[in-house]
């Protein structure tokens, strides 16, 4: 079975071909136009997708050495994401599927991230044999789910304000780092002292407020953003530059410690033996190392996608389509499926 996946939920234009369960191509074009604005500009993102989509799809097909008529399934992100950006990829997929008279599978972008750690490739890892805890962390989402073998899932916790990736980008911007700031903070933190300053970790066992952890699996990072801003305003530019690595390490510690604590607690509370982390922030070195250490300590199996599958990509869209088809999905040939912007808590991926 040949599946073409298309992803345009935010600022990556991507197309991939999944052939007999193996990724044969995964072309990703990251939009650089947003860097000077310090964040993604939705209208510019939509226009860049429109400019690139044909070229990216053709490149993916060429790299996989197949023709359009060889495709069996067309899959595309239907949401969540920037609605204009989602519409570009989904509309293109609808038109292509209709023209080729091939089935169309709309894919939930977040659900694709959840299963991205299990994308089949020569070094791939099979999904766990039982339920697992999924932590999806990106610039727009921070979501903790209990995922079952039939692909259904229950949302255990989510961000009530800023997402983890957004916290990285906003605090990094305060430090004068280029967008996206997450990789820059991770690089600086590698040689910094994470205990240099104790930034707040809301809704955790380390919280200094009366709203202590008490099993709360939601996330909140807006207080961290405010705390960093206040801290920087109370110190000179010379002090900040002198201790830039330590400040970055302290910020990263405040973010990843929350993610690790809640994911591990969710696994232990639900008697689950596996954790998966996915999304752009899952590429963070500090998060991977801390999660690996915590999982080793508690005897939990950890699944992490290869770095290329951590950020938004079409390989995860094609893979999710294959998973849904293998579970008897019935939404094929739905050429007029509507895009959606916000994450839908459906309780199931069907």
340 and 30 in contact (C-beta within 8 Å)? no
User: Binding site annotation covers 169?
Assistant: yes
User: Binding site annotation covers 330?
Assistant: no
User: Binding site annotation covers 113?
Assistant: yes
User: Binding site annotation covers 270?
Assistant: no
Threshold 0.75, pTM exceeds: yes
User: Binding site annotation covers 336?
Assistant: no
Query: pLDDT per residue over 169-203, tens digit each?
Result: 999 999 999 989 999 999 999 999 999 999 999 88
| Domains of the chain, earliest start first | 2-115+310-326 (3.30.420.40), 130-305 (3.30.420.40)
* Band of residue 347 on the pLDDT scale cut at 50, 70, 90: very low
User: Binding site annotation covers 137?
Assistant: yes
Q: Is 221 exposed, middle or buried (0-12, 13-18, 19+ CB in 10 A)?
A: buried
User: Binding site annotation covers 186?
Assistant: yes
Taking the C-alpha atoms of residue 14 and residue 166, their distance in angstroms, rounded to an integer, is 22
8 and 57 in contact (C-beta within 8 Å)? no
User: Binding site annotation covers 333?
Assistant: no
Taking the C-alpha atoms of residue 284 and residue 204, their distance in angstroms, rounded to an integer, is 21
Higher per-residue confidence, 93 vs 347:
93
Taking the C-alpha atoms of residue 237 and residue 14, their distance in angstroms, rounded to an integer, is 40
Query: pLDDT per residue over 246-280, tens digit each?
Result: 999 999 999 999 999 999 999 999 999 999 999 99
79 and 340 in contact (C-beta within 8 Å)? yes
- Per-residue pLDDT, averaged over 204-211, amounts to 61
User: Binding site annotation covers 13?
Assistant: no
- The pairs formed by 255-258 with CB atoms below 8 angstroms and a separation of 24 or more are 255/164, 255/167, 255/168, 255/221, 255/224, 256/284, 256/286, 256/287, 256/290, 257/201, 257/204, 257/206, 257/290, 258/201, 258/202, 258/203, 258/204, 258/219, 258/221
* Band of residue 143 on the pLDDT scale cut at 50, 70, 90: very high
User: Binding site annotation covers 312?
Assistant: yes
User: Binding site annotation covers 218?
Assistant: no
User: Binding site annotation covers 198?
Assistant: no
* Token pair listed for 290: 């801390």
* Token pair listed for 225: 């953003």
86 and 8 in contact (C-beta within 8 Å)? yes
Taking the C-alpha atoms of residue 112 and residue 94, their distance in angstroms, rounded to an integer, is 19
């Amino acid at each position: 079975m040949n599946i073409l996946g298309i992803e345009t939920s935010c600022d990556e234009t991507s197309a991939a071909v999944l052939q007999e369960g193996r990724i044969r191509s995964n072309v990703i074009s990251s939009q650089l136009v947003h860097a000077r604005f310090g964040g993604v500009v939705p209208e510019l993102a939509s226009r860049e997708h429109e400019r690139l989509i044909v070229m990216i799809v053709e490149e993916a097909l060429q790299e996989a050495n197949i023709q359009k008529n060889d495709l069996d399934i067309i899959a595309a992100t239907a949401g969540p994401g920037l609605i204009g950006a989602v519409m570009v990829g989904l509309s293109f997929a609808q038109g292509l599927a209709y023209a080729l008279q091939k089935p169309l599978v709309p894919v939930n972008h977040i659900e694709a991230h959840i299963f991205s750690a299990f994308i089949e490739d020569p070094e791939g890892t099979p999904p766990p044999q039982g339920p697992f805890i999924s932590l999806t962390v990106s610039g727009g989402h921070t979501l903790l789910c209990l995922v079952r073998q039939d692909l259904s899932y229950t949302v255990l916790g989510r961000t009530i304000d800023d997402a983890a990736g957004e916290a990285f980008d906003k605090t990094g911007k305060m430090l004068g780092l280029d967008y996206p700031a997450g990789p820059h903070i991770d690089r600086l933190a590698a040689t910094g002292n994470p205990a240099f300053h104790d930034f707040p970790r809301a809704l955790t066992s380390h919280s200094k407020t009366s709203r202590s952890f008490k099993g709360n699996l939601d996330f909140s990072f807006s207080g961290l953003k405010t705390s960093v801003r206040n801290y920087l305003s109370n110190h000179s530019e010379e002090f900040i530059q002198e201790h830039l690595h330590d400040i970055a390490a302290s910020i990263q510690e405040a973010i990843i410690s929350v993610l690790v604590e809640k994911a591990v607690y969710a696994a232990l509370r639900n008697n689950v033996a596996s954790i998966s982390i996915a999304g752009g922030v899952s590429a963070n070195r500090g998060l991977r190392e801390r999660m690996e250490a915590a999982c080793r300590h508690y005897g939990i199996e950890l699944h992490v996608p290869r770095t290329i599958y951590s950020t938004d990509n079409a390989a995860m869209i094609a893979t999710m389509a294959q998973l849904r088809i293998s579970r008897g999905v019935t939404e094929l040939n739905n050429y007029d499926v509507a895009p959606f912007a916000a994450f839908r808590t459906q309780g199931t991926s069907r």
